[in-house]
Structure 1
Amino acid sequence: MLTETSLVEAFAARGYKLTQPRRAVLKVIAEAGASLSPAEIHARAKKMHARTGLVTVYRTLEALVECGSIRKVHQTDGCHSYAPASEGHAHHVICEKCHAVTEFDNCDLADLLKAVQRRTGFKVESHWLELFGLCPNCK
């Protein structure tokens, strides 16, 4: 589970300076428990620390993705939101209406990946699967 303490530790372990605006961003992410856009994170963090800038939000998000603490989630509008990263291999189903994100871990793409490697000559080292539709509450 993602906690403010775990985010602070991951951030500090990589030598990032923990300013008050960054701490506000970390707190927002830890308390959210769901996917949030940078604008949503920024609005919430500004309530905690008025001098939190949007650039700080983006840089903090990039650092947390690099740390493996959060994952970037593509949205149907071309933007991204950010969600807590789970242990191991996971993918997302994203609601096109309310933008709810649900993780699943069984993508069963082994045969497809082998075929892609044969056809393209690429050595596939990783993949990212996101499916879009309507969640049970929106359909």
Structure 2
Amino acid sequence: MNPSQSNLAQDWMERLQASGYRLTRPRQAVVEIIAQSDYVLSPFDVFEKARLRHPRLGLVTVYRTLEKLEELKLIQRVHRPSDCQAFIAARPGHQHLLICRSCGRAEYFSGDSDWVEPLMSRVGRDLGYAVEAHWLQLFGVCERCR
């Protein structure tokens, strides 16, 4: 875990506690696993990794912790085309994701791109909508996996 990921995990734990969430060691392991990952992780991925630290960890604990992290907007949900839902650390500001279908590595790119906003405006205009929000996730194969 690099220092910024360690700080992120610590920040999340403090925010969970401030929200009244009891932070047990298994829950801490779940927080650390997702905070230190540059990859999208399914609840089962998190479960398998966290169980290496806490063999008695239950899958329900993973789901509840992920649910609370999402409620606090610390993680964001990723909907993979041919797989179950997954999660990744949320970044501040409006961001979009490019996700490798092979390894699950995720790259963020700015929501202020000169092509994203005009595209959303055009789609809304062409279909008669006032677009209020969007969530853009692109899928492909990263350079490492090709």
TM-score > 0.5 by shorter chain? yes
Percent identity reads 40
Following the alignment from structure 2 to structure 1, what is the Cα–Cα distance between the partners of residues 74 and 96? Answer: 15
Q: Cα gap change, 1:30/1:113 in structure 2, threshold over 3 Å: closer, same or farther? A: closer
Aligned twin of 2:142: 135
Equivalent in the alignment of 2:74 = 69
Partner of 1:110: 117
SS at match of 1:86: coil
Residues 1-139 of structure 1: pairs in structure 2 closer than 5 A: 1-2=4-5, 3-106=8-111, 107=113, 108-118=115-125, 119-121=127-129, 123-139=130-146
Distance in 1 (CA, whole Å) between partners of 2:15 and 2:38 is 17
1:90 Cα deviation after fit: 0.8
> Could you list the per-position Cα deviations for residues 79-123 of structure 1 after superposition, in whole angstroms to 9, with x for gaps in the alignment?
1222111111111111122222111114433333334444344x4
- Could you list the runs of 5+ residues in structure 1 that have no partner in the other structure? none
Q: CA separation in 2, counterparts of 1:31 and 1:97?
A: 20
- The residue type paired with residue 55 of structure 2 is A
Normalising by structure 1, we get a TM-score of: 0.84
- CA RMSD, 1 decimal: 2.0
